[in-house]
Amino acid sequence: MLTDPFGRTVDYLRISVTDRCDLRCTYCLPKGFKGFAVPKDWLTLEETARIAAAFARLGTKRFRLTGGEPLLRKGLADLAAEINRQPGVEDISLTTNGTQLGRYARTLRQAGVRRLNISLDSLRGDCVKSITGTDCLPQVLEGIKTAKQAGFERIKINMVPLKGVNDTDLDDMAAFCIENGFILNLIEAMPMGATGQAHAKVNLQPVLAQLQQKFNLKPFEGRIGGGPARYWQSGSGDFILGLITPMSRHFCATCNRVRLSATGNLHLCLGQENKVPLRPLLRGGCSDAELEQAVCDAVRQKPEKHEFVENPQKIIRVMALTGG
């Protein structure tokens, strides 16, 4: 097993397959941003699969495919199937904005992707357009419908509440999730790059108190996924709420994940600059043993915690370049 300097077991790898996205969410990508990597600098899917296999041999059980928008990368289902074939892998999930799910949901499910997180910040078309820069709500809702029909084990709706933008939409989003049997994940916006730093943040602790009263929420007994969310369930059992609170109540003490960027950088913490480039090693002809050693050495550099609250201006890279 991979263990960092603070005794935390790293058993979860988030893999970005592209930094490109077909949306321009205001908390993720700066308006007019053109600083994407050129495709020749991306890891090939074969290189990505090789890194995933090394992690699996070292005890990593959970893998998430992300971007950018991962469904823009051709061959994604083949990558998922290859990771799924690795001994010891228990879970493959995907984070997506939903625009391409109508085309790929069934193929992904057949490839072994078990769970989906779908980003959707409002059910109001004008609000979605103001956040994403695109009139994409009908396309996303159709993708969600197709994904539900494809039979994923669990679908979570990721919503980033933004003050004065969509923070009044929480009841509607909860009703949508109850109707469809989805989990609602609320995520605090992080100061990642200029866009993340510009937004007025919503503290989810008062939001939780309001929703607890409205839905009679109690802490959820059991495990849902391998990420940082804490969960509550309604008294009737028909609504599960997840909260990811890096700002108001960080979860660094139990962090079990690292991120692989599309260009092969292993990011060890969202809120620190610590990273290890694996692409030069791969393209230099390293052996599997050398790759595994590089991964072990990298995890030993994992910092204790982020500094989003103490030093919000520290991280200048945008989220799409880091990997979701």
CA 90 to chain CA centroid, Å, is: 17
pLDDT for 247 equals 73
pLDDT for 11 equals 96
CA distances from 243 to 17, 18, 174, 247 (A): 26, 26, 13, 11
Lowest mean pLDDT among 10-14, 41-45, 155-159, 191-195: 191-195
pLDDT for 122 equals 98
User: Is the bond preceding 235 in cis, omega lying within 30 degrees of 0?
Assistant: no
pLDDT tens-digit map of 128-157:
999 999 999 999 999 999 999 999 999 999
pLDDT for 229 equals 87
* Residue 127 annotated as lining a ligand binding site: no
| Percentage of the chain lying above the pLDDT 90 cut | 75
DSSP string, 266-317: EES-TTS--EEE-HHHHHTT--HHHHHHHHHHHHTT--S---TTT-TTS--S
* Residue 257 annotated as lining a ligand binding site: yes
pLDDT at 8 over 80: yes
* Residue 252 annotated as lining a ligand binding site: yes
CA 26 to chain CA centroid, Å, is: 17
Supply the mean pLDDT for the chain.
91
pLDDT for 221 equals 80
Residue of 303, 209, 211 whose CA lies nearest to 253: 303
pLDDT for 253 equals 86
* Residue 305 annotated as lining a ligand binding site: no
pLDDT for 289 equals 98
CA-to-CA distance for 245 and 243, rounded, in angstroms?
6
* Residue 28 annotated as lining a ligand binding site: yes
* Residue 259 annotated as lining a ligand binding site: yes
* Residue 96 annotated as lining a ligand binding site: no
The 3-state DSSP class for residue 224 equals: coil
pLDDT at 224 over 60: yes
Q: Write down the residue that tokens 């992690």 correspond to.
A: 55
pLDDT tens-digit map of 279-316:
999 999 999 999 999 999 999 999 987 756 555 555 56
* Residue 25 annotated as lining a ligand binding site: yes
The 3-state DSSP class for residue 62 equals: strand
* Residue 231 annotated as lining a ligand binding site: no
Retrieve residue 217's tokens. 């929420």
Q: How is the chain split into domains, by residue range?
A: 12-321
Average of per-residue pLDDT across 188-195: 68
pLDDT tens-digit map of 226-270:
778 899 999 999 999 999 987 777 778 889 999 999 999 999 988
Average of per-residue pLDDT across 193-218: 81
Instruction: Grade residue 225 by pLDDT with cuts at 50, 70 and 90.
Output: confident
Q: Which CATH architecture has domain 12-321?
A: Alpha-Beta Barrel (3.20)
* Residue 269 annotated as lining a ligand binding site: yes
* Residue 156 annotated as lining a ligand binding site: yes
95/249: higher pLDDT: 95
